Structure 1
Amino acid sequence: MNALQRHWPRIAITLLPVLLALAHATGLWQLSTLERLDHLIYDMRLRATMPRTLDTRVVIVDVDDASLARQGQWPWARDAMARLTTELLVRQQVAVLGFDVMFLEPDRSSGLQRLRQIASGPLRNMTGLAAEIERLAPALDHDITFAAALHNRRVALGYYFTRTPVPSAKGQLPSAPLLPPDTFPKGASYATAWSGFGASLPMLAEAAPVAGFLNTLIGETGDGVIRSVPLIARYDGEHANAGYYESLALAVYRLANGSPPVRPLLAPGGAMQRLDSLALGRLRIPVDQNASMQVPFRGPGGADGGSFRYVAAADVVEGRLAPGELKDKIVLMGATAPGLQDLRATPVGAAFPGVEVHANIVSGLLDQRLLAVPDYAPGYEVLTVLVAGFVLAFGLSLLSAPRAVLLGAGTAAVLIGVNTWLYIGHSLVLPLASALVMTALAFALNMSWGYFVESRARRGLVRLFGTYVPPQLVDEMLVRPGSYSMRAESKEMTVLFCDMRDFTRLSEQMAPAELQAFLNTVFSRLTNVISAHRGTVDKYMGDCVMAFWGAPIDTPDHAALAVRAALDMADAVRDINRIHRAGGRPEISVGIGINSGVMSVGDMGSAARRSYTVVGDAVNLASRLEGLSAHYGVEIVASGTTRDLAPDCCTWQELDSVLVKGRAQAVAVFTPLTTEAAIAAQRTGQLQRWTQVLSAYRRQDWATGRNLLAPLLAADAKKVLYQLYAQRLASMALRPQDPGWDGATRFETK
């Protein structure tokens, strides 16, 4: 909980990009930059996953520059279009022919209209001229010729829808819509709606009743790039039957596959259901809210793109292809000549032939290589933003900088990986930009806050406490950096003194440089132990180190931490001695004194030199206790106050009741036992017997005390404590009992 409290401002600042991304994902605040980035990601991924192979089933008859040079400017005469149609459907035996061109105006290339004007004008008096012209009219009317070539053939014409304030209609739509106007529930839009159209001449429309619209939705993306094409669209005008009509690509595909009926499938939901897909038999085509499908581009466009075979329209008209060369192919006729302005911007090319857009849709339907923008895409976006946002907010704030960098990079990698897996493995087009941008912004803000705000607070605390306080305590102090200062205050704490014994003798045996390196090694080990137990190093005094617990951070268990640190310091010294024995160097020993009590802590000293330290009678007592360790033959001497504050941190053995120099009140002193010593003492009953020895000693029952001590001496004759009390008991037995004796031992030296 402390870590969260310390970092809550950093967590909060990291969540700001999350809120921004959520506003975009939920539609509260649409950000065009994120939409463009999503389009860019989609385009890059589409280009990276395109098959880039030739689809031999679909052929494009191209009105290119060479065809215009040979057949003349566009539009060509309808008798040429009739020859092209007959060539493809009869001599070449193609499966389906779709026209990505429109025939809105009557053909005037034959001169029939001009002959009629002459017959009714300057030559109106010429007998039989008008009748002869009308007799020849069917042969001279190229529209009739073209209509005859279309009649009862597998042909799909093209047309376009319009939406203007004053609806206009030109030509004729198919006699019946693909779906009736009441196909969908009322109250929602299931496809784009149009009020006007431009279609083929009625004569041609009736000859080839299958037709499809050519509209794309360039404006929907905002960048003029065609990524999706509507498969059905709603016509609500007055010049044809209202209802839902099909696109040219869908019409061509259906015509090539036996014209299966189209069945719309709505996504499960409430009253406002959404169109999920269009079913053609077993084929299910996913569509978006405009009844559009994502164009499954095969590769780069054009004759050199390698996705489809291109055949010059002039070659077809002139019969240059071998008979049956295009047998059973699906053929789309369109124009790539730049002057005819049928080049489109797509994700795979800025000048992509419009006819090839339809060819890619037909190819994708044949392969069932269909991309879907599911209705749960907004929910997916919200979920990814929330999960990634909270992972980053808490993870970046709580981890170290290197791990935070790994977390940020890992989060972005997971987002990209999952999104790409859904795209490649399940053909799902899902948003990614908002989560990625949120990740980048969250990382930048979090790291900036950590560097400019928390690091500044850390540097301030380090300046005050860095030389005294272990790093983990500085981290805790960052929870409330303003609560800590060097100002002196009185509080209950525990202080420890650790002094190296026989240092003078040791220094005489070592060179100064060697002695310095040795002290650095010892003090580094001891300081690490103190820091591990949350202690604050006060100072080093020659061969002595002083530390305290309970400041600058309040530590309720300061006494227990100090005792455990003392035990580990003694273990560390034993480890050092093992290394010294192996290397032939002298061994060392230490004496440790511990006391708890009220003392003053803060910034103390002179104007020239100050330090964060503790002072007071409790500190002086700890220093005196450290000097008693050698007297009692133990490494650690602790006051009764420390023992009372930490009774359960270890097993205690009472040493004595002492009066040290400068104090008028006796103090009980104890030593903490290591785990091994405590187990052995408990098993043999030494502690219980030792308590009885002290009790007899304080009653001045010298004989009982000596009898109780004898087994302890026999078990451990080298134990200094037992030898000390054996001497005391023997000496006291020679003296008369003192009625005023309190059992305390008086020490007159420090």
Structure 2
Amino acid sequence: MTRAQQLGVVIGLLIVAALTVLRASDPPQLKLAREATFDQYQHWAPRSFEQMPVRVVDIDEASLRQFGQWPWPRNRMAALVDRLSEMGASAIAFDILFAEPDRLSPRNVVRDIAGVDPALLRQLPDNDELFAQSIIRKPVVLGFGLSNEGNYRPQVKAGFAFTGENLIDAPPHMKAATPFQPQLEANAAGIGHISLNPGNSSSVVRTVPLLLSDGQQLYPNLALEALRVAQGASTYLLIGAADAPNIVTSIKVGDFVVPTTAAGELWLYVSRDNAKRYVSARDVLAAGGATADVRAAIEGSIVFIGTSAAGLQDIRTTALGENVPGVSVHAQTVEQILSGQFLSRPDWANGLEILSIAALGSLLVALTIFVSPAIALVAGLLATACALVASWLAFSFAGLLFDPLAPVAAGTITHFATTSFRFLVTDRERREIRRAFGQYLSPSLLYRVEHTRGALRLGGDDRELTVMFVDVRNFTEISERLPPTAVVGFLNTLLDALSRHVTENEGTLDKFIGDSIMAFWNAPLDVNDHCGKAVRAALAMRETLAELNASDAFGFGTEHKVGIGIGIHTGIACVGNMGAEARFNYSAVGDAVNVASRIESACKMVSFDILVSETTAQALAGSALLNAGALALRGKRDRTNVYAVVGDEQVAASQEFADLQTVHGRLVQALRSRSAGTRRIAITAKVKATRLPAGLQDFYDRISRRSDQFLIDPADKNKLRQVTD
């Protein structure tokens, strides 16, 4: 290497280091450019508008012309709540502050008149009291704003549970809130903050803080609270990162799990503003009653009440560049959660982008100095194209947000600087550089560099896996009656005890999903008899749970038993490293994973704790299995034959199981023929099942009501398809 080349490398790497440090510091200009890129992606592929059970009751210009200027008296708000409740709204959320007493209340108006008899004053109606009486025992959610003055904190109507570390300091901080009228605060079913981008200087709303914290208590936002109230849920479950404190990964509210940023914010994936999202308040309060179309729009919907009137200045800008009412952003938040279409920026995205700047810059320096600027330019253009395409595909197919501009811009600057150096300093040594290239950068070395870069790309292999899902039964009920710290202790005790059996039976523990476990067998290494080992792990979990319940390991009392459901399926799935070289997760995805999850959910319907699919059952030679029917799993065209796992080979060889198996066979035939003696045979099977330790009583109590799931012989696939169709 010549001195000119050494100098070129040093200068190039210094430039790369400076650009890497600049990106790591993430100044506002880079952040703005990155967010503008993500906005452009949404311009190209916005979330499609779908008719969801979410509506905005809009206090629009027509409503103000009909009923008078803002603010409206709160007896009109009471009438609005009564109308919406009568129409069947599942939740009614106000994107309106009720911080001061209603100045239009007759009692308040007359109070300012001198000489008014106090007794007469007390007889006059008070609009705040009317409004408070209207919202009591109705699914009404009131909104509060943020304040830099005072120390008022609103009531919190829900509980919070955590997995992992306490996440109280993860969300954005709030100093104080705008106060409520006491009777309104007491009677509301839910209370949530209406701030959309606190502390963000940008006028564009790109993320919504689902939670705020004052250091001691968490406060949900209006949209999240409305979704909770609509489902009748009472607790939020905050799921934190397993390897870092104060990082929120997702929030579970009722039946929905919402992926979030580390601070508990939701990346908004907005659809274009659509008139079908709105219902005018004038139409709701129409003197003759609402029309059938309005009633149909409101019935069963989560309703947000806000204003689009220009004079009230509640207008926000979305990533699509549209100016929409602020209440529309709350509605779109719930729409996005209901649709399951999320955007996320993984916590390793910054690291990957910084690494790409360093790697691409170093590669361009090497290619420019040691090969030629033309080849470096081609490599830079290819890298740019790959970055742009990969970023767009990640957004389009997975909702992942990766910034292609930072590495592209850094690569461009690096290439320009090193090319300029080469032409200015080393062009006279071109022949020597060519000789040096042959000496210092062989084709094999280049191949290894390219190979190392390729290792950063996501990917996996298709192979046969046995997949297991384990879920705690009645977790919501358990979390409701326990403080958050006790919920975390319960989960840690249970999941630690159960997950050990996965690794002891040569399985791969994939992840903990709240109160659930996902595991699989036969990857990354081949596992002999992976179906049998998965079932043995499930049976060991059953025994371990029984011991924990018997010893009152959870502190619930021996009369309160914790239950689990386990679903197992064998099929082809894609398994591999999901992430970056510096930070990745070895996981599996595919239809086999989905089927195992659905089978676990079916345990509730079948009333048995361990179910396996037919493909798994066929590989279980000698295990004690009972036909549990052909179930219509969600998302599957054909029904899926499932089997209840009673025990291992020892149980299968017992006389007790042989007797039960004989009666069970007669019961299945009776169910298929709709015999009148089905219930009698089921009772006989239940009696015989008491001799076995598998807890089959509930299974046989319910089996008579599931006769449709036994009408077709599991071996007759053609008839099974006809029943499903």
Q: Is the 1:58–1:359 Cα contact (8 Å) retained in structure 2?
A: yes
Change (3 A) 1:283 1:9: farther
Aligned to 2:258: 285
Cα deviation for residue 390 of structure 1 reads: 2.2
Aligned to 1:331: 303
Tell me the TM-score normalized by structure 1.
0.54
Q: What SS is found at the alignment partner of 1:179?
A: strand
Whether 1:232 and 2:211 are equivalent positions in the alignment is yes
Letter in 2 for 1:86: D
Superimposed CA distance per residue, residues 393-413 of structure 1 (whole angstroms, 9 cap, x where no aligned partner): 222333344433221110111
Q: Is the 1:364–1:370 Cα contact (8 Å) retained in structure 2?
A: yes
Q: Is the 1:253–1:365 Cα contact (8 Å) retained in structure 2?
A: no
Cα distance in 2 for residues equivalent to 1:321 and 1:209 = 25
RMSD between superposed Cα atoms in Å: 3.0
Change (3 A) 1:147 1:315: same
Q: How does 1:155-554 map to 2 (within 5 A)?
A: 155-164=140-149, 167-169=150-152, 173-174=154-155, 176=157, 178-179=159-160, 185=165, 189-220=169-200, 222-235=201-214, 242-259=216-233, 261-269=235-243, 272-280=245-253, 283-299=256-272, 305-306=273-274, 308-319=276-287, 321-323=290-292, 324-325=295-296, 326-349=298-321, 351-455=323-427, 475-476=434-435
Cα distance in 2 for residues equivalent to 1:388 and 1:478 = 19
Cα distance in 2 for residues equivalent to 1:78 and 1:375 = 45
Letter in 1 for 2:115: P
Cα deviation for residue 379 of structure 1 reads: 1.8
Q: Which ranges of structure 1 fall in alignment gaps of 5 or more residues?
A: 125-129, 237-241, 300-304, 459-471, 480-750
Q: Give the number of the structure whose alpha-carbon radius of gyration is greater.
A: 1
Matched residue pairs, number? 435
Q: Which ranges of structure 2 fall in alignment gaps of 5 or more residues?
A: 439-725
Q: How does 1:599-638 map to 2 (within 5 A)?
A: none
Q: Is the 1:61–1:310 Cα contact (8 Å) retained in structure 2?
A: yes
Q: What SS is found at the alignment partner of 1:225?
A: coil
Change (3 A) 1:282 1:333: closer
Q: What SS is found at the alignment partner of 1:193?
A: coil
Aligned to 2:93: 98
Cα distance in 2 for residues equivalent to 1:391 and 1:424 = 29
Letter in 2 for 1:265: I
Cα distance in 1 for residues equivalent to 2:158 and 2:54 = 26
Superimposed CA distance per residue, residues 293-344 of structure 1 (whole angstroms, 9 cap, x where no aligned partner): 1112112xxxxx2275222222222256314232112211111112111112
Cα deviation for residue 184 of structure 1 reads: 7.9
Change (3 A) 1:153 1:68: same
Aligned to 1:523: none
Q: What SS is found at the alignment partner of 1:22?
A: helix
Letter in 2 for 1:156: V
Change (3 A) 1:373 1:307: farther
Cα distance in 2 for residues equivalent to 1:248 and 1:340 = 19
Change (3 A) 1:287 1:79: same
Cα distance in 1 for residues equivalent to 2:433 and 2:136 = 90
Cα deviation for residue 225 of structure 1 reads: 2.3
Cα deviation for residue 251 of structure 1 reads: 0.6
Q: What SS is found at the alignment partner of 2:199?
A: helix
Aligned to 1:11: 9
Letter in 2 for 1:367: S
- Equivalent position to 1:112, from 107, 112, 125: 107
Cα distance in 2 for residues equivalent to 1:430 and 1:105 = 45
Change (3 A) 1:54 1:413: same
Q: What SS is found at the alignment partner of 2:323?
A: strand
Q: Is the 2:148–2:176 Cα contact (8 Å) retained in structure 1?
A: yes
Cα deviation for residue 262 of structure 1 reads: 1.3
Q: Is the 1:179–1:245 Cα contact (8 Å) retained in structure 2?
A: no
Aligned to 2:133: 148
Superimposed CA distance per residue, residues 510-560 of structure 1 (whole angstroms, 9 cap, x where no aligned partner): xxxxxxxxxxxxxxxxxxxxxxxxxxxxxxxxxxxxxxxxxxxxxxxxxxx
Cα distance in 2 for residues equivalent to 1:123 and 1:160 = 36
Cα distance in 2 for residues equivalent to 1:260 and 1:369 = 24
Cα deviation for residue 5 of structure 1 reads: 6.8
Superimposed CA distance per residue, residues 672-694 of structure 1 (whole angstroms, 9 cap, x where no aligned partner): xxxxxxxxxxxxxxxxxxxxxxx
Cα distance in 2 for residues equivalent to 1:255 and 1:477 = 71
Cα distance in 2 for residues equivalent to 1:474 and 1:146 = 83
Letter in 1 for 2:242: P
Cα distance in 1 for residues equivalent to 2:116 and 2:146 = 43
Cα distance in 2 for residues equivalent to 1:406 and 1:200 = 63
Change (3 A) 1:11 1:249: same
Cα distance in 2 for residues equivalent to 1:375 and 1:327 = 40
Q: What SS is found at the alignment partner of 1:393?
A: helix
Q: Is the 2:238–2:251 Cα contact (8 Å) retained in structure 1?
A: yes
Superimposed CA distance per residue, residues 570-603 of structure 1 (whole angstroms, 9 cap, x where no aligned partner): xxxxxxxxxxxxxxxxxxxxxxxxxxxxxxxxxx
Cα deviation for residue 98 of structure 1 reads: 1.0
Q: What SS is found at the alignment partner of 2:145?
A: strand
- Equivalent position to 1:80, from 66, 76, 79: 76
Identity of aligned residues (%): 24
Q: Is the 1:10–1:446 Cα contact (8 Å) retained in structure 2?
A: yes
Cα deviation for residue 14 of structure 1 reads: 3.0
Superimposed CA distance per residue, residues 614-648 of structure 1 (whole angstroms, 9 cap, x where no aligned partner): xxxxxxxxxxxxxxxxxxxxxxxxxxxxxxxxxxx
Aligned to 1:53: 49
